[in-house]
Amino acid sequence: MPEITVNMAAGRTDEQKAGMMRDITQALVTHLGVAAEDVVIQINEAPLTNKMKGGKTFVERKAAQGK
């Protein structure tokens, strides 16, 4: 049973996350030959204030993009 964990910044809609999980499931079915019912996917979301890249939190990066 393949189990996939996705770590990402919070902010996507439930529909976006469900679509991503469906696409990942289908990729495993296609490439690994497993049944969709055997695929487990978990999303771990971090608030934008708790995630940093390049020395700036994702909140700071988002604010800089808006300027």
Per residue in 17-32, pLDDT tens? 999 999 999 999 999 9
Tokens of 16: 């976006």
Per residue in 3-62, pLDDT tens? 999 999 999 999 999 999 999 999 999 999 999 999 999 999 999 999 999 999 999 999
- 2 catalytic residue (yes or no): yes
Measured distance CA(50)–CA(63) in Å, rounded: 15
What is the number of alpha carbons within 13 Å of residue 4 lying toward its C-beta? Answer: 16
Neighbours of 36 (CB within 10 A): 10
In the chain the beta strands, taken as DSSP E runs, fall at 3-9, 40-46, 52-53, 56-57
Instruction: Name the catalytic one among 1, 2, 26, 65.
Output: 2
Instruction: List the domains of the chain with CATH numbers.
Output: 3-66 (3.30.429.10)
- pTM, two decimals, is 0.85
